[in-house]
Structure 1
Amino acid sequence: IVDVFTAANSVTSRRPRRRSGTPSQLRWRVESLSGRPVHTASGQVIGVDGPIGARSSADAVVIPGPFVGDIERFFARLDTVEPLLAALRRQHERGTLLASYCTGSFILAEAGLLDGRVATTHWAKGRTFAMRYPAVDLRVAEILTEQNRIVCSGAVTTSLNLALRLVEKFAGADVAAETGKLMLIDSNRVSQAPYASRARDTQHSDALVARAQSMMEKSLQQGFSLARLARDLSVSERTLNRRFKLAVGEAPLQYLQALRVDVAKRLIETTRLKLDAVSGRVGYNDLSTFRRLFKRETGLSPREYQRRFVRRAPAA
């Protein structure tokens, strides 16, 4: 983000001076709770300009996304950052714009700042976020959300899109556009959906649902019947539906449709199968039905997905 701000200042410095005589430059500070350098998950040490101050003022505050390998350990540690949560609440009350990317949205939500507001986060953490913060209007497919001076963005590389949005707000749309071109930032990304994977939905402790998911994966080409699946698992349809929603966050049929699209994405990426063959492999004999479902889940048609994500050897 600081690199984007630096580039924006470079763009601004090359522009004609304003009436005040000096071009408008972005200024920033990097702060930590203790005022000491921050040790990142990748082993880097980030120097800071000082501690987070209760009385300091800013036009905007950016909350970086912490690396979250163990979500329960992450939640257990949130009570240690209450001074940060209180500082964020005070800043927002003063009219400061708050911005976060990736898992930084968990910190904003923990501070109560996202209740009743739209937000996004990393697509793989969406279900966990929604269950912990039901009062938040989560739009997990979105790259950026904004409401009431709070801007959130998705997975970590969307921090570049977030930075451009801040440049646009504080330096102007033309400076943001030129900065984006200079740094090759794709400002046309509108959704995280093409990147999402169903692998995340096995991270729960319900053995019954895990068995149901395994049976679905092994029978993708067959027609789906909730009654047959419940019978094979020796439970009622009502019990299976309830347990599935609690563990995965959606009904079995919704999960199966998304799983089929996920498998189709992998087939498109890694094989030379034609689309009708891919469609048949995941249980859709009607290609038009498959295309509609694929676009609904990913925001892209199968052909568009193929053009964007199929790996090609670099030019010699």
Structure 2
Amino acid sequence: MIKEIAILVYPGCMGMEVFALTDLVLMANHLAKNMHPGKFSALRVKLVTLRPNPVAIAGGFKVAAQRLRGKPDLIVVPGLEVSRFGEWDERFARLGQELKAIRRFHGQGTELASVCIGSFVLAEAGVLQGRRAATAWPFVSEFQDRYPDVQIEKDAVILSDGGVTTTGAVSSVMDLGLHLIRESMGSAVARAVSKLALIDGGRVSQRAYVDTALIPQNRAPFSTQVNRWLAQRLSETYNLCALADAFNVTSRTVLRRYRQETCMTPLQWLQKARIEKAKHLLELSSMSVAEVVVAVGYHDLATFSRLFARETGQTPGHYKRLFQGKRVATFPRG
């Protein structure tokens, strides 16, 4: 059972992913002491580093941490700040000693965990080979390309495989914290922390949060033109022959060239584009679900709902309730 957690602080790591975990564990220790006096030992958390103090984390803030010594039960690797896609070599060139230490502790049997794209750090250190892992949804494709020997579970929020735990995007530090609290102090204490901190402790998938507009799109010339043509006719019935005529090629040529560039068909792209449009309408407009279905080119609510649920993990109605109109409650003065 884990009793001592060491959070690895390194240059450029994300502060929220460091301090959210320390605060959750602090809350859990207080709650466990009051709910079950004498039953649980307090979880110990410390910030550790391999660098001279203080360490400049993301945003340039300076953090003091202990030198990494001894053998903690668990080392947590927070994610690192990235300002654009594809800058991994540049980032990892500065983290040689952290990668070496992660490999060494893993070889000694220390459990490891990562938050968000901290999974890239673990993979770069070589400790995820042959394992299943999670990472932040915008970076799944890059992760797969860079580490083909890791089985990435693109929807997972938190995933454990053989003493290594990886998580999804930034806020999954909360899911990791609740998982560690649950393992050490039981479900009752974890539920109490979840309620006190207003955390949804039951998230199992990232799919509902995916927004493809935030991911760099394919720029291959033919498929880009096809996508633009389809996007302009999003609500119209899909017609492969009309698409082929628009580009003065045969239907077979459209499918062959498009698949070569994208590994999918134009219809598959169109379905995903329609789902993305529907998500934005459900979030930002006052349209009913039925009206949204028609606006994105479908006429059968059941068929659309199945496609939508397959892509997002939510029904259209639930997605609308989850993401639309989230406002801070206000009260009149006086």
- Structure 2 length-normalised TM: 0.84
Alignment pair present for 1:13 and 2:13:
no
Instruction: State the match for 1:106 in structure 2.
Output: 120
Instruction: State the match for 1:2 in structure 2.
Output: 22
In 1, Cα distance between equivalents of 2:271 and 2:60: 40
In 2, Cα distance between equivalents of 1:229 and 1:108: 45
How many residue pairs get aligned? The number is: 305
Residues 40-65 of structure 1: CA deviation (Å, up to 9, x unaligned): 33343222122x45xx3111110001
Q: Is the 8 A contact 1:244 1:252 kept in 2?
A: no
Instruction: State the match for 1:261 in structure 2.
Output: 275
For 1:244, the aligned partner's letter is: T
Query: How do residues 220-299 of structure 1 correspond to structure 2 at under 5 angstroms?
Result: 220-225=234-239, 228-229=242-243, 232-233=246-247, 236=253, 237-245=255-263, 250-299=264-313
Which runs of 5 or more structure 2 residues have no equivalent in the other structure?
1-20
Which runs of 5 or more structure 1 residues have no equivalent in the other structure?
none
Instruction: State the match for 2:208 in structure 1.
Output: 194
Tell me by how many angstroms 1:309 deviates: 0.8
Query: How do residues 109-258 of structure 1 correspond to structure 2 at under 5 angstroms?
Result: 109-225=123-239, 228-229=242-243, 232-233=246-247, 236=253, 237-245=255-263, 250-258=264-272
Instruction: State the match for 1:44 in structure 2.
Output: 61
Alignment pair present for 1:69 and 2:83:
yes
* Compared CA separation, residues 28 and 201, structure 1 to 2 (3 A): closer
In 2, Cα distance between equivalents of 1:291 and 1:73: 38
Q: Secondary structure at the match of 2:201?
A: coil
Tell me by how many angstroms 1:227 deviates: 5.8
In 2, Cα distance between equivalents of 1:271 and 1:93: 53
Residues 291-315 of structure 1: CA deviation (Å, up to 9, x unaligned): 1111111111111111111114435
Percent identity of the aligned residues?
A: 34
For 1:36, the aligned partner's letter is: N
Tell me by how many angstroms 1:216 deviates: 2.5
Tell me by how many angstroms 1:238 deviates: 1.3
For 1:4, the aligned partner's letter is: L
* Compared CA separation, residues 233 and 95, structure 1 to 2 (3 A): farther
- Structure 1 length-normalised TM: 0.88
Q: Is the 8 A contact 1:35 1:49 kept in 2?
A: no
Q: Secondary structure at the match of 2:94?
A: helix
Residues 121-144 of structure 1: CA deviation (Å, up to 9, x unaligned): 111111111121122211121111
Residues 103-132 of structure 1: CA deviation (Å, up to 9, x unaligned): 101111112222221111111111111121
In 2, Cα distance between equivalents of 1:100 and 1:251: 35
CA RMSD of aligned residues (A): 2.1
Tell me by how many angstroms 1:214 deviates: 2.1
Tell me by how many angstroms 1:95 deviates: 2.2
Q: Is the 8 A contact 1:198 1:258 kept in 2?
A: no
For 1:242, the aligned partner's letter is: Q
Q: Secondary structure at the match of 1:28?
A: strand
